[in-house]
Amino acid sequence: SSKGRIYNFSAGPAMLPVDVLEQAQKDMLNWNGSGMGVMEMSHRGKEFVSIAKAAEADLRTLLKIPENYKVLFMQGGATTQFAAIPFNLTTPEDTIDFVETGAWSTKAIKEAKKYCKVNVAATSKAENFTHIPEESNWTLTPGGKLVHICYNETIGGVEFKDIPRCADDVTLVADMSSDFLSKPVDVSKFGMIYAGAQKNVGPAGVTIVIIREDLIGKARADCPAMFDYKLAADNDSMYNTPPCYGIYICGLVFKKLLSIGGLEKVEEYNLKKCALIYDAIDGSEGFYKAPVAKNCRSCMNIPFTMASKELETEFFAEAAKRNMVQLAGHKSVGGIRVSVYNAMPMEGAEAIAQLMQELLARSKQ
Ligand code: PLP
């Protein structure tokens, strides 16, 4: 890998494009001739306001976000949204229908239960979260108005490939933290999409909320100000001091994705990368075992196991020798997890696939 950088397969925070980091380095002391760095700017000043406006405009272009949706740059990570969603979109008597497909849906459910009613409409827990329950088998609340899904489960490596076809009067809310901007998505099919930034977009803490306008302005009276989508929308995401530097980095990433041809191109590249690794798994006659059903394998997070801890330890050691790190599966599931977010270059995916082939060949000697 170039410039002394290693291939970091972390599930997040994760790699950012090298040219984005270089631009940030260049701007650090003196952004665009302003004589100051972005971290030092007033969020009310014309310099930062221009940065924030460009970031929003570029994100709108990238995702083709319809006019009747607001883009909010919030704080506190996707975890904060687990609470903000009930505060903004339900009363304590309303029910959110959750589809539980992994550890992050489970966390969202646990948090929502504190603030509203929850119905687990479907779960794959009994199968260790290795598939997505068929939509025809979801048991939705009669008259329910809100369905929550986790579009990509970062730990289990399970990803929706189609948008659920909810009824017209049902609002679909999706946690897209770990596949946001990895592929085109039809925003109009969702009431709300949210994502923590630290996988494909920028620094942890920045949280992007894309929400249809008619859903805004219904927050409970006791909704904390920092959770309130209306306050955020009415104040251009600057009700308080926003995470200015983080938003600036996100903006650089949006420009980068536009410059390489937008999300169709990003998806094409990502599909090639994950195919290298899935092919290495599928061609290994069980030397590597991927638990997830093929129709919902994540393009971002690829978990697999080997026959013993010793083999996995050898895998990590060999990988480290070749400058490949952060490959251990989440502590709750073990095994190996290869995360190949947008900024992972093709060479990184090739290098890990090559390592997988070599260890397989070695095992046959
Ligand atoms: N949802 C998903 C799918 C995630 O992957 C994560 C973090 O990894 C979260 C939510 C929580 O995000 P945060 O740590 O930004 O609160």
Same domain? For 230 and 289 the reply is no
Tell whether 255 and 266 lie within a shared domain.
no
Q: Average pLDDT in the 286-314 region?
A: 97
Span from the CA of 100 to the centroid of ligand 1 (angstroms): 15
Q: Which residues are identified as catalytic?
A: 104, 175, 199
- Looking at the fold, whether 146 and 75 belong to one and the same domain comes out as yes
Among residues 48, 50, 20, 25, the alpha carbon closest in space to that of 259 is found at 20
Considering just the CA atoms, what is the radius of gyration of the chain in Å? Answer: 21
The neighbouring-strand residues paired with 153 are 158
Residue 9 lies in a domain: no
Residues in contact with ligand 1 by the CB-under-6-Å rule are 12, 77-79, 104, 150, 154, 175, 177-178, 196, 204
The 10s digit of each residue's pLDDT in 137-164 is 999 999 999 999 999 999 999 999 999 9
Quote the ligand 1 centre to 33 CA distance (angstroms): 36
Decide if 13 is inside a domain: no
DSSP string, 33-67: GSSS-GGGS-TTSHHHHHHHHHHHHHHHHHHT--T
Provide the pLDDT confidence category of residue 4 given band limits of 50, 70 and 90: confident
CATH of the domain at 27: 3.40.640.10
- Co-location of 181 and 330 in the same domain: no
Nearest in space to 205 (alpha carbons), one of 250, 149, 157, 150: 250
This prediction has a pTM of: 0.98
Range of the domain at 323: 262-363
Which of 1-10, 154-163, 319-328 bottoms out in mean pLDDT, i.e. has the lowest?
1-10
Is 2 domain-assigned? no
Same domain, 81 and 211: yes
Average pLDDT over every residue of 289-305: 98
Strand 95-100 vs strand 117-123: parallel, antiparallel, or unpaired?
Answer: parallel
Residue 196: phi and psi, rounded to 5, are: -70, 150
Instruction: Return the number of other C-beta atoms located less than 10 Å from residue 131's C-beta.
Output: 17
Q: How confident is the model at residue 3, as a pLDDT?
A: 80
Cβ proximity of 66 and 236 under 8 Å: no
Count structural domains, the chain.
2
> CATH number, domain at 296?
3.90.1150.10
Strand pairing category for 117-123 and 7-8 = unpaired
Classify residue 76: in a domain, yes or no.
yes
pLDDT in tens, 214-249: 999 999 999 999 999 999 999 999 999 999 999 999
Angle at 64 between CA 18 and CA 186, to 5 degrees: 105
Tell me the pLDDT tens digit for each residue of 72-125: 999 999 999 999 999 999 999 999 999 999 999 999 999 999 999 999 999 999
Question: Do 254 and 188 belong to one domain?
Answer: yes
> Quick one: pLDDT band at residue 332, thresholds 50, 70, 90?
confident
User: Nearest C-alpha to atom 4 of ligand 1 is from which residue?
Assistant: 177
pLDDT at 1: 52
